[in-house]
Amino acid sequence: MAWAACHGSSASEAPANTNSKSTPALERAKPEPRVAPSGTPPEGARVVLLGTGTPVPDPERMGPASAVLAGGRAYLVDAGPGIVRRAAAAEALGHHELAPEQLSHVFITHLHSDHTVGYADLMLTPAVVGRRQPLQAFGPPGLTAMTRALERAYAVDASIRHAGKSPEQQPGYRVVTREIEAGEVYTDAAVRVRAVKVPHGSVEHAYAYRFDAEGRSIVFSGDTAPSEALVELCSGCDLLVHEVYCSQGVRTGPPSFREYHGSFHTSAQELAALATRARPGLLLLSHLLFFGCDAETLLAEVKSGYAGEVVVGEDLGVY
């Protein structure tokens, strides 16, 4: 199973293997605050990784989801499976902005299932536990249709929870969507968010986001093959959260598997070259496609071509 292509194209022709031997489970079992390599939490806006995984159901790495904490609020990027429970875990670690009932803004990079399976959870669970404001969801064309379809899918639940109440009495269940284009997509007193379109195989609409908040600039690649627009979007940004696959690992798969990932994703070597030009203060690896490699091998592949600071992201890590 674990050799399944990130988005499922070539699972049947790929050899069986395990996806991640990154760190022994026991070493990573207990949630504890993790901070940037300097050992101190960053000044200004913080990033908490809620899920560093992929479609592969690794119990140690939830599906793709991150949060920028600024101005007392959490701005979520993607909604992979596990997002709300990881947010609750982050709240327990002291990140009050991630209290589930406070989750109100999400920016979806693209509509692949690994990035949106947690979307229904994000629409509903925070409302059930007391969200008082609508969820604002930003993302590619198709997001509104997905949202309305999910609302219809949960009509039985809604009919019970809303019984005897008007929509105005339960604003936390409302979802306001905005389908974005490249450019500035959101601003408020705390953050400015910009998007660029990125190449992700046959996916027509995939975006990377840049957040400027509290003196920090933070870029999320989403899923992408090497992207010139992303290099420009970062241009010396403080933090670049980028997807990556292990080059050594992908080479052991069949040709179609390598072609698929070459078109949809970024290899460790490609990322090293890209980051050298993008010049982030810290390169943070997430959406980790190990393909049988361990975290040390993946990190060494990036470091072999990149002299800057780079770390492998962990769920609940703070950067």
Instruction: Report, as residue numbers or ranges, the catalytic residues.
Output: 114
> Residue 281 half-sphere exposure, CB side, CA atoms within 13 Å?
12
Classify 25 as helix, strand or coil: helix
Structure tokens at 137: 């969801």
Facing residues of 218 across strands?
Answer: 211, 239
262: tokens are 């070459």
Task: Count the neighbouring beta carbons within 10 Å of the beta carbon of residue 16.
Answer: 7
Q: How far apart are the first and last CA of the chain?
A: 32
Using CB under 5 A, list all residues that contact Zn ion.
Answer: 112, 114, 223
Distance CA 197, CA 280 (A): 19
Q: Shortest gap between Cβ of 264 and Zn ion (angstroms)?
A: 7
| Residues 80, 88: Cα–Cα separation, whole Å | 15
CA distance linking residue 261 with residue 10, whole number of Å: 10
